[in-house]
Chains A and B, each alone.
Chain A
Amino acid sequence: RKEVEQDPGPFNVPEGATVAFNCTYSNSASQSFFWYRQDCRKEPKLLMSVYSSGNEDGRFTAQLNRASQYISLLIRDSKLSDSATYLCVVKWTGGFKTIFGAGTRLFVKA
């Protein structure tokens, strides 16, 4: 089993749609969680950190479920510019070990 797993997609959605991605992790000692966005042939860029209580940033909402060991990302009112690969990132306690998921590809169409 991979340490961090994501549905690779692609998710094809129309503009204005709501779309959600999940990411599961295997190590219960994981403590820090992030969503990064990566455009084609570009570097990953931080979208948002994921806090235990859940957090929202504009159209984006992140949730953490420790009991089931997954995090989620919800995108409301999708824009064409949201088309990208969304990478889930998990860090272990007490070290710098950083595990990326392989990403979920999103295509938003007009």
Chain B
Amino acid sequence: DAMVIQNPRYQVTQFGKPVTLSCSQTLNHNVMYWYQQKSSQAPKLLFHYYDKDFNNEADTPDNFQSRRPNTSFCFLDIRSPGLGDAAMYLCATSREDWTDTQYFGPGTRLTVL
């Protein structure tokens, strides 16, 4: 049974056209993370939510925003995608704190034309 679900799995957007990626979880975990992973690179943490508390990484561009309307759902909004934003976007969850295992969704592969 899928525990961390991401939709869509593949997203194509045009340069500058806003796009929203979604993540949902059935684990009832408190923490949800968004990562960006480019080809042959490490996943890079963009931000995370601990419950409703939003925590942005210092080097995450303002172009990236996130919403968590409830425990189960978290969204990644890219306001004006550039060619450099083409990547795999991974959502992950963990039960509580930094010692806990993170469970990843299958990712959304974003293409920017």
Contact = CB atoms under 8 A, between A and B. Distances in A.
Contact of A97 (B35, B98, B106): B98
Interface residues of B, number: 25
A96 B55 contact: yes
A91 B98 contact: yes
A28 interface: no
A44 interface: yes
B16 interface: no
B104 A102 contact: no
A42 interface: yes
B45 interface: yes
A64 B90 CA distance: 27
B101 A49 contact: yes
Interface string A68-110: 0000000000000000000100011111111111110000000
B45 to A, nearest CB: 5
A65 interface: no
A57 interface: no
Contact of B104 (A31, A43, A93, A97): A43
Given A44-B90, A103-B42, A98 B98 contact: yes
Contacts of B44: 100
* Max chain A C-beta neighbours (<10 A), residue from B43, B45, B55, B104: B43
A43 B107 contact: yes
Contacts of B90: 43-44
Nearest to B106: A43
Contacts of B42: 4, 87, 99-103
Contacts of A44: 43, 90, 104
Interface in A23-42: 31-32, 34, 41-42
Interface of B: 31, 33, 35, 40-45, 48, 50, 55, 88, 90, 97-99, 101-107, 109
